[in-house]
Each structure stands twice: as C-alpha cells, then as structure tokens.
Amino acid sequence: MQSKVIITCAVTGAGDTVGKSPNVPVTPEQIANAALEAASAGATVVHCHVREPKTGKGSRRVDYYRDVMERIRAKNSDVIINLTAGMGGDVVIGDGEKPLDFGPGTDCVGPEERLVHIKELRPEICTLDCGTLNFGDGNSIVVQTPTQLRKQAELIKSYGVKPEMEIFDSGNLWFANQLVKEGLIADQPLYQLCLGIPWGAPFDSETMAYQKAQLPPNAIWASFGIGRNQFPAVAQAVLLGGHVRVGLEDNLYLEKGVFATNGTLVEKAVKLIELLGTKVASPEEGRAILGLKKR
C-alpha cells in the first residue's frame, strides 16, 4: 500500500444525473462550492466538469471553467485542481439506416478546441481519455482517435499541465502506454483506471489487478468504480498500491437509499483508507507524489 493515498473527488461530471439527486451541482457557483466541500472533507484533488446552468447538460465553455477555478482559489489555495478535457468527443449515431445523421447531443471538435480551457486556465492536471468507447446502451460513442490523442498529448505537454490518462478498457491502456513510449507523456505518467462504465472494462478485482500489472514501472495510478462499486474500488485500489477517486460524477448514494454529497463521499473514503492502515495525502503531499509545482 501507499503510505499516503491521494483522494480525487469528481464533483459533477457531464452525465445525465441532474434531477436524479438533489445534490448534483450544476452552476459554476454550485460546482465550486462542491469542490470546496470535498476539499474540506479531505480530498487531495478536485476534478471538475462544468454544465449549462439552465439545462444541466455538460458544457465546454471557458468562462464557466474560469468561474469555477476562481471561486475555488478565492477560498482554498491548496487543493489540486483537475479539469476535464473529455468534452468535445461525443457522437450520437443516427437511427436505423442513417447512422451519419448524427443525433442531438453530438459535440465533436478537434484537439485544439477541446483544450482551449486548458490552454487559457492552466490547471495543474487535466484528463486525457485514451480511446473511443461505446458509452452506455444506446447510440452514443465517445471518440478519441490515435491521431487526435497524440495531438492532444502534445498540446497538454506544451501547456505545462499534467495529463491524467483515463483508461476505460484494455485497448485504452495499451495506447496510453504507447503515448508514454513515444515521449508524449512526461515522467511520471498518471493513469486513472475507470471501471464499470458500460461498455468498457467491468469492475472486479481481477480487472483492476490485470490493468495495474500492465502499467509502466514508474507509473502513478488511481482507480474508481461507479455506483455501488465506488467503495469496493477504493478498498481494492488501496490494497493494490494505488490512489482513489470518489464523487457524485460516479455515484449518487452514500448507502442504499441515502443521497450522498461530495463531502460525505470523501469522508467515507477517508475513513475506509484509514481503516485499511494508511493515510490520506494532503494537497502538498499530493503535489510531491505527482511531481507538481503549486500554481
């Protein structure tokens, strides 16, 4: 096990969770307050998406990201901020015999446009989703081609931001390792093993152990499971020597029938980590582990 475990709290995501829980933050103010709540509860890192305030749908607007970051930094200068760069790859395939009649919700742009907010705001970490995925059980896919990913990795590196490579299945991991081999990802590479999202890698102990075994020797890694598997994934990742992620992006419940907040999810993760015999990393300790310089 790690002597200090980084907790990332993914505070809202872009999924269809608004209305499914009263605690999912939507506006920049709500998202920033959720991140601050998570940090106060013990999160080392806060991972932020933004949403359209009127609809709750995921957004790529730079002004929303800036508002979130400024609100967090006004009250907490220590917590590490991780912004998603996963938006802009959504394609909804058309029905029946017209698959190229892309449906509502399609938002597919090039590498530079996907990273405008990263270039302008320079968070310490941003995500890099490492492959194309059937997302859910309908016609939605999330598109990241090898050519696009190489360009995104190159741009992120030029911005001085650390990429967190999101691994949704074994092919994603294979390609992420290739990015490292090609020198497009600086040492030490950071991986997030994302388990249980249909139809990527399932959550189970064998899958997490298999993926961990495929990582480069100098890799830093974390993992999460969605829904009811959130806390089993915390325990499994800690026991395998990794770091962890919780938050309302991945799970809405603290226990059966009890809605969570980001703060209560982090509190539960802290307790579990300590019961397993290790400790949670502070933001300062997290920066030392991740090789970050405070901005």
pLDDT in tens, the chain (295 residues): 899 999 999 999 999 999 999 999 999 999 999 999 999 999 999 999 999 999 999 999 999 999 999 999 999 999 999 999 999 999 999 999 999 999 999 999 999 999 999 999 999 999 999 999 998 889 999 999 999 999 999 999 999 999 999 999 999 999 999 999 999 999 899 999 999 999 999 999 999 999 999 999 999 999 999 999 999 999 999 999 999 999 999 999 999 999 999 999 999 999 999 999 999 999 999 999 999 988 7
How many structural domains are present in the chain?
A: 1
Predicted confidence at residue 53, as pLDDT, reads 96
- Residue for token digits 């509860």? 41
Residues in the chain: 295
Predicted confidence at residue 294, as pLDDT, reads 82
Whether residue 92 is contained in a domain is answered as yes
- How far is Cα 169 from Cα 7, in angstroms, rounded to an integer? 22
Whether residue 46 is contained in a domain is answered as yes
Residue 23 bridge partners (DSSP): none
SS (H, E, C) the chain: CCCEECEEEECCCCCCCECCECCCCCCHHHHHHHHHHHHHHCCCEEEECEECCCCCCEECCHHHHHHHHHHHHHHCCCCEEEECCCCCEEEECCCCCCCCCCCCCCEECCHHHHCHHHHHHCCCEEEEECCCEECCCCCEEECCCHHHHHHHHHHHHHCCCEEEEEECCHHHHHHHHHHHHCCCCCCCCEEEEEECCCCCCCCCHHHHHHHHHCCCCCCEEEEEECHHHHHHHHHHHHHCCCEEEECCCCCCEEECCEECCHHHHHHHHHHHHHHCCCEECCHHHHHHHHCCCCC
Tally the C-alpha atoms within 13 A of residue 172's C-alpha that lie toward its C-beta: 25
Domain that holds residue 217: 4-290
Q: What is the pTM of this model?
A: 0.96
Whether residue 220 is contained in a domain is answered as yes
- How far is Cα 143 from Cα 135, in angstroms, rounded to an integer? 10
Whether residue 204 is contained in a domain is answered as yes
Specify the CATH number for the domain of residue 41: 3.20.20.70
The CA distances from residue 219 to 67, 97, 180, 277, in Å, are 32, 44, 10, 23
Predicted confidence at residue 136, as pLDDT, reads 82
Predicted confidence at residue 11, as pLDDT, reads 98
Token pair for residue 168?
A: 């949704």
Whether residue 32 is contained in a domain is answered as yes
Close Cβ partners of 258 (under 8 Å, ≥ 6 residues apart): none
Whether residue 295 is contained in a domain is answered as no
- How far is Cα 253 from Cα 205, in angstroms, rounded to an integer? 22
